[in-house]
A and B are shown apart, each in its own frame.
Chain A
Amino acid sequence: MKKLLLYLVLTLLAVFLMAPFAWMVLVSLQPNKAPIPTLEHLIPSHPAWSNYSLVLFEQPTLPVGRFFLNSILVTFCVVFGQLIVSSLAAYGFARLQFKGRDWIFYLFLGSLMFSGPVTQLPVYLIIRSLGWLDTYAALIVPGVSSAFSVFLLRQAFMAVPMELDEAARIDGAGDLRIYARVVLPLSGAALATCSAFSFFAVWTDFFWPLLSTNSSSMRTLEVGLSVFKSSYGNTNWPLQMTATVVVMIPLLVAFLVSQRYFTKGITIGSIK
Chain B
Amino acid sequence: MKRGKIGYFFIAPATLHLAIFAIFPMFFSIYLSFFKWNLMTSVRSFNGLANYVYAFQDPLFWNAMWNSTKYALLSVPLGMILGLLVAILVNQKLRGITIFRTLFYIPAISSGVAISILWIYIYMPETGLINSVLGMLHINNKTDFLKNENLAMYALVFMSMWVGLGPKMVLFLAGLIGIPASLYEAAELDGASKFRSFWNVTLPMLVPTTFFVLVTSTIGAMQVFTPVYIMTQGGPNEKTDVVGYHIYVEAWSKFLIGIASAKSFLLLVVIVLVSIAQFKILKNQMEGYSAS
Which residues of A are at the interface with B, using a C-beta cutoff of 8 A? Answer: 3, 6-7, 9-10, 13-14, 16-21, 23-24, 27, 35-39, 85-86, 88-89, 91-93, 95-98, 101, 104, 107-108, 111, 113-123, 125-126, 142, 144-145, 147, 150, 162, 169, 175, 179, 200, 203-204, 206-207, 211, 221-223, 225-226, 229, 237, 240-241, 244, 247-248, 251-252, 254-256, 259, 262-263, 265, 267
If A93-B11, A111-B23, A123-B21 touch, whether A252 touches B121 (CB-CB below 8 Å) is no
> Is B25 within 8 A of A123, CB to CB?
yes
User: Cβ of B94 and Cβ of A119 under 8 Å apart?
Assistant: no
Give bound CA distance, A248 to B189, whole Å: 50
A122 and B24 contacting across the interface, CB-CB below 8 Å:
yes
Find out whether the CB atom of B109 lies under 8 angstroms from the CB atom of A251.
yes
Asked if B92 CB lies within 8 Å of chain A CBs, one says yes
Contact A229 B117 (CB under 8 A): yes
Alpha-carbon distance A165/B261, docked complex (angstroms) = 47
Which residue of chain B is the closest to A92 with respect to CB atoms? B10
B106 & A21 in contact (Cβ 8 Å cutoff): yes
Q: Contacts A9-B89, A38-B127, A125-B28: A255 and B106 contacting too (C-beta < 8 A)?
A: yes
Interface-central residue, B11, B244, B271, by most chain A CB under 10 Å: B11
Are B2 and A10 touching (Cβ within 8 A)? no
A to B CB contacts below 8 Å, 27 in the list: A6-B94, A10-B97, A13-B89, A14-B100, A17-B162, A36-B124, A39-B135, A89-B14, A96-B1, A96-B7, A97-B1, A111-B23, A117-B225, A119-B25, A121-B25, A121-B261, A122-B29, A123-B21, A144-B17, A200-B109, A206-B225, A211-B252, A229-B117, A244-B114, A255-B109, A259-B102, A262-B170
Complex CA gap A120/B111 in Å reads: 20
Neighbouring A residues of B1 by C-beta, 8 Å: 95-97, 162
Q: Is the CB of B3 within 8 A of A97?
A: yes
Contact of A96 (CB < 8 Å), options: B10, B18, B122, B257: B10
Measured between alpha carbons, how far is A39 from B264 in the docked complex, in Å? Answer: 44
Complex Cα distance, B25 from A91, in Å, reads 26
CB contacts (< 8 Å) of A259 on chain B: these are: 102, 105
With both chains docked as a complex, state the minimum distance between the C-beta of A128 and any C-beta of chain B, in angstroms: 9
| Residues B90-104 near A (CB distance < 8 A) | 90, 92, 94, 97, 100-104
CB < 8 Å: which of A116, A169, A203, A225 contacts B117? A225
**Interface size band for B:** 35 or more
| In contact, B23 and A267 (Cβ under 8 angstroms) | no
B-side contacts of A206, CB under 8 Å? 112-113, 225-226
Contact with A along B25-40 (1 / 0, CB 8 A): 1101100100000000
Shortest beta-carbon distance from B142 to chain A in Å = 14
Dominant SS among interface residues on chain A? helix
Contacting residues, chain A, for B113 (C-beta < 8 A)? 204, 206, 222-223, 225-226, 229, 247
Structural contact, B14 and A121, CB atoms closer than 8 A:
no
Q: Is the CB of B29 within 8 A of A121?
A: yes
Whether B268 sits at the interface, judged by CB under 8 Å, is yes
* Cβ–Cβ < 8 Å partners of B272 in chain A: 113
CB nearest to A95 among chain B residues? B1
Of the listed residues B32, B113, B264, the one surrounded by the most CB atoms of chain A closer than 10 A to its CB is B113
B-side contacts of A248, CB under 8 Å: 110-111, 114
**Does the CB pair B109–A126 fall under 8 Å?**
no
Given contacts A38-B132, A96-B1, 7 further A-B contacts (CB under 8 A): A13-B86, A17-B104, A20-B107, A114-B22, A147-B22, A252-B106, A255-B106
Shortest A91–chain B CB gap in Å is 5
Nearest residue (CB) in B for A221 is B111
The 10 A-B residue pairs with the shortest CB-CB distance in the complex, in nearest-first order: A92-B10, A89-B14, A122-B25, A98-B7, A96-B7, A119-B25, A145-B17, A92-B11, A36-B127, A122-B28
Q: Do A6 and B92 have beta carbons less than 8 Å apart?
A: yes
How many Å lie between the Cα of A252 and that of B106 in the bound state?
7
A104 contacts B10, C-beta separation under 8 Å: no
Q: Give Cα A98 to B21, complex, Å.
A: 24
- Residues on B with C-beta less than 8 A from A9 are 89
| Interface check B119, CB cutoff 8 A | yes
Whether B244 and A117, one on each chain, are in contact in the complex, defined by CB atoms closer than 8 angstroms, is: yes
CB-defined contacts of B2 to chain A, threshold 8 Å: 96-97, 169, 175
| A267, B174: Cβ atoms closer than 8 Å | yes
Given contacts A121-B257, A122-B28, A144-B17, contact A24 B118 (CB under 8 A): yes
A27 engages B110 (CB within 8 Å): no
Q: Which residues of B contact A251 (CB under 8 A)?
A: 109-111
User: CB of B4 within 8 A of chain A?
Assistant: yes
CB <8 Å contact, A119 and B29: yes
Are B225 and A207 in contact, CB atoms less than 8 angstroms apart? yes
B28 and A142 contacting across the interface, CB-CB below 8 Å: no
A10 proximity list for chain B (CB < 8 A): 89-90, 94, 97, 100
B111 touches A27 (CB 8 A): no
